[in-house]
């Protein structure tokens, strides 16, 4: 790809996933107020009047929160009680099917009975309500609540797609390698050539695969996926080609295979390198002729399918080792896409962190306004063997275990005791520069500043425990948190400078 094409790709507008809030009720004044606040935050509001419609929307679409409020006549105390019961029924139904979805109930303090509001609120919270608001509503409180349950931090999104109010996919990042990969994917998408996507586990190969399908002329046709690594040799053939009734024990009826199901569309063969050699010859024939017979049958079935394959291995190396057919390799790789690992996309890490915060912070109901610079520094240096999948797990764990509005690794660092490279990175963060490293501390501690002695004790103990912070804390006679605080202090204060 030439430099000008990369430059043009960088100039594409970026946008993030649109959040959706479902508003249930007939109180037009309250609904209008909430819609105005949502509009200021670029959040889509969906208004329905009754419980049945609300459940239908939630079953078919992706929503990030539910507000329920109804306007009831002051004199209609019985009706008000019935309406509150309807609200609780809606809450129970939502929590049964979507337990993590935040639900906010809005009630009038004077209806049905001012003295019953407090126990009603307690009942709502115990039933799983995220918050219980009382009219008249406070704009700032609603905005703060939305920031907590629907984080909407801006991230650099190269490409995304929405269907109705459902987000299909978002590809996050700003690195030139990611932009180049997406640009190539968009160019080959309108064709029907087979595509081979290579990349380490957790880099997002399936996401790129769906991008190719969505940008193709087959986007309205089926997109079918099969995980080749998850199926045994005997099941793989039946799964892809289907079988006739009685073809084998347990084949009680005719079954269509994935190729037949994907007719006119796209078939993703995930981890194609895990297929056995014997099966590869059958697969080659189908790719070349676009026809096959079901297992146990003799009817010739014609299909028109575009095949996308993914692998986390070097397929050419597999060919040289005799584990993959060379002719199949050339048939699958009409176009090749290589997804760069996360360690080569350090500039994407911050956007990805905020992306995962946007998705998962609402489950914790923890408002995050900042990422700890020390955490970000460690993340950009770490080599991430599990790539984006591993980064997501680390962010989610830190988010759920921590407190406050700053996302920090300190509350979850115990998870990485077994990952020496990350522990070594943490240890390196508090090491002095090369000039200070050469400075030797006299075994006679007289005249040595206490901060220097403490720093050396920590470094030597970390060396002794191979970077295991928990063991180091035990040896030093301090808590894990105290050790982490001292590491953080030595990383940021001037006490590391020569004295």
Per the structure block, which two tokens stand in for 324? 């993959």
In the chain the domains, ranked by start, together with CATH numbers, are 20-149 (3.40.50.2300), 176-339 (3.40.50.300), 425-499 (1.10.10)
Give the pLDDT confidence score for residue 288 in this predicted structure. Answer: 85
Let me know if 370 is exposed, middle or buried by CB neighbors in 10 A (0-12, 13-18, 19+).
exposed
Given this model, what pLDDT does residue 448 score? Answer: 60
Average pLDDT for 137-162: 84
Band (163; pLDDT cuts 50, 70, 90): low
Residue 12 has pLDDT above 50, yes or no: no
When mean pLDDT is compared across 5-14, 117-126, 144-153, 303-312, the lowest value belongs to 5-14
User: Between these two residues, 435 and 93, which has the higher pLDDT value?
Assistant: 93
Q: Which of 199-208, 220-229, 441-450 has the lowest mean pLDDT?
A: 441-450
pLDDT digits (tens, 9 = 90+) for 247-269: 666 667 777 888 889 999 999 99
Question: Residue 71: its pLDDT value, please?
Answer: 58
Give the range with max mean pLDDT: 147-161, 220-234, 300-314. 300-314
pLDDT of 417 > 60? The answer is no
- Above 70 in pLDDT, residue 113? no
What confidence category does residue 338 fall into, taking pLDDT thresholds of 50, 70 and 90?
very high
Long-range CB pairs of 30-34 (<8 Å, 24+ gap) are 30/69, 30/71, 30/106, 30/135, 30/137, 31/69, 33/137, 33/139, 33/142, 34/67, 34/137, 34/142
Label residue 299 by pLDDT band (50, 70, 90): confident
Report percent pLDDT > 70 for the chain: 78
β-sheet bridge partners, residue 162: 167
Burial track 393-432 (b if 16+ CB lie within 10 A, e otherwise): ebbbbbbeebeeeebbbbbbbeebbeeeebbebbbebbeb
* pLDDT confidence band for 209 (50 / 70 / 90): very high
Using one digit for the tens of pLDDT, what is the confidence trace for 16-60? 557 889 999 888 889 999 999 999 888 889 999 888 899 998 888
Average pLDDT over residues 180-184: 93
Report, in angstroms and rounded to the nearest whole number, the Rg of the chain calculated over CA atoms.
Answer: 29
The tens digit of pLDDT for each residue in 465-475 reads 767 777 777 78
Tell me the C-alpha distance between 79 and 100, whole Å.
30
Contact yes or no for 208/340 (Cβ under 8 A): no
- The pLDDT of 223-239, averaged and rounded, is 83
What local confidence, expressed as pLDDT, does residue 246 receive?
Answer: 61
Report the distance separating Cα 254 and Cα 115, nearest Å.
64
Q: What is the mean pLDDT of residues 101-111?
A: 80
Q: Give the pLDDT confidence score for residue 76 in this predicted structure.
A: 45
pLDDT-derived band of residue 11, with 50, 70 and 90 as boundaries? Answer: very low
Q: Report the pLDDT value the prediction gives residue 451, as an integer from 0 to 100.
A: 67
pLDDT, residue 116, reads 61
Q: Name the average pLDDT for the chain.
A: 80
Please tell me whether residue 238 adopts helix, strand or coil conformation: helix
* Reported confidence tier of residue 4, pLDDT bands at 50, 70, 90: very low
Per-residue confidence (pLDDT) for residue 415, from 0 to 100: 54
Q: What pLDDT, on a 0 to 100 scale, did the predictor assign at position 33? A: 93
* Range 133-161 average pLDDT: 85
The token pair that represents 349 in the structure block: 């890490």
For residue 222, what pLDDT is reported? Answer: 94
More confident residue, 61 or 337: 337
Tell me what pLDDT residue 190 has: 95
Is a pLDDT exceeding 50 seen at residue 459?
Answer: yes
Q: What is the mean pLDDT of residues 135-152?
A: 88
Contact 295, 243 (CB under 8 A): yes
């Amino acid at each position: 790809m030439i430099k000008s094409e990369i430059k043009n790709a960088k100039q594409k507008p970026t946008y993030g996933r649109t959040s959706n809030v479902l508003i249930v009720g007939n109180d037009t004044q309250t609904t209008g107020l909430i819609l105005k606040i949502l509009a200021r935050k670029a959040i889509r509001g969906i208004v329905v009047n009754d419980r049945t419609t609300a459940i239908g929307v939630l079953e078919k679409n992706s929503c990030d929160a539910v507000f329920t409020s109804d306007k009831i006549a002051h004199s209609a105390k019985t009706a008000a009680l019935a309406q509150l019961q309807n609200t609780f029924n809606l809450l129970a139904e939502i929590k049964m099917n979507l337990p993590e979805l935040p639900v906010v109930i809005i009630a009038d303090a004077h209806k049905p009975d001012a003295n019953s509001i407090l126990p009603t609120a307690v009942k709502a919270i115990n039933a799983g309500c995220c918050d219980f608001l009382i009219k008249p509503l406070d704009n700032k409180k609603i905005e703060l609540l939305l920031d907590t349950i629907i984080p909407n931090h801006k991230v650099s999104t190269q490409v995304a797609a929405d269907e109705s109010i459902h987000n299909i996919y978002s590809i996050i990042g700003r690195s030139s390698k990611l932009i180049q990969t997406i640009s190539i994917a968009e160019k080959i998408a309108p064709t029907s050539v087979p595509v081979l996507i290579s990349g380490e586990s957790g880099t997002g190969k399936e996401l790129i695969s769906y991008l190719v399908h969505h940008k193709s002329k087959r986007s309205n046709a089926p997109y079918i996926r099969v995980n080749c690594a998850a199926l045994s040799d005997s099941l793989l053939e039946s799964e892809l080609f289907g079988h006739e009734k009685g073809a084998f024990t347990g084949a009680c009826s005719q079954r269509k295979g994935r190729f037949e199901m994907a007719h006119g569309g796209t078939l993703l063969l995930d981890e194609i390198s895990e297929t056995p050699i014997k099966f590869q010859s059958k697969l080659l024939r189908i790719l070349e002729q676009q026809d096959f017979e079901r297992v146990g049958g003799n009817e010739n079935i014609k299909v028109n399918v575009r095949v996308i394959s993914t692998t986390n291995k070097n397929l050419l190396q597999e060919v040289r080792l005799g584990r993959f057919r060379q002719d199949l390799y050339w048939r699958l790789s009409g176009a090749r896409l290589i997804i760069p690992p996360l360690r080569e996309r350090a500039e994407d890490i911050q956007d990805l962190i905020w992306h995962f915060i946007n998705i998962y912070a609402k489950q914790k109901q923890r408002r995050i306004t900042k990422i700890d610079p020390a955490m970000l520094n460690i993340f950009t240096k770490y080599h991430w063997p599990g790539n984006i999948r591993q980064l997501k797990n680390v962010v989610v764990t830190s988010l759920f275990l921590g407190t406050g509005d700053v996302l920090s690794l300190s509350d979850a660092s115990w998870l990485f005791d077994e990952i020496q490279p990350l522990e070594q990175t943490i240890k390196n963060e508090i090491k002095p520069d090369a000039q200070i490293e050469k400075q030797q501390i006299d075994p006679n501690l007289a005249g040595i500043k206490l901060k220097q002695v403490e720093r050396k004790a920590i470094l030597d103990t970390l060396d002794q425990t191979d970077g295991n912070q928990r063991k180091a804390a035990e040896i030093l006679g301090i808590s894990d948190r105290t050790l982490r605080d001292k590491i953080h202090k030595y990383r940021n204060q001037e006490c590391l400078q020569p004295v």
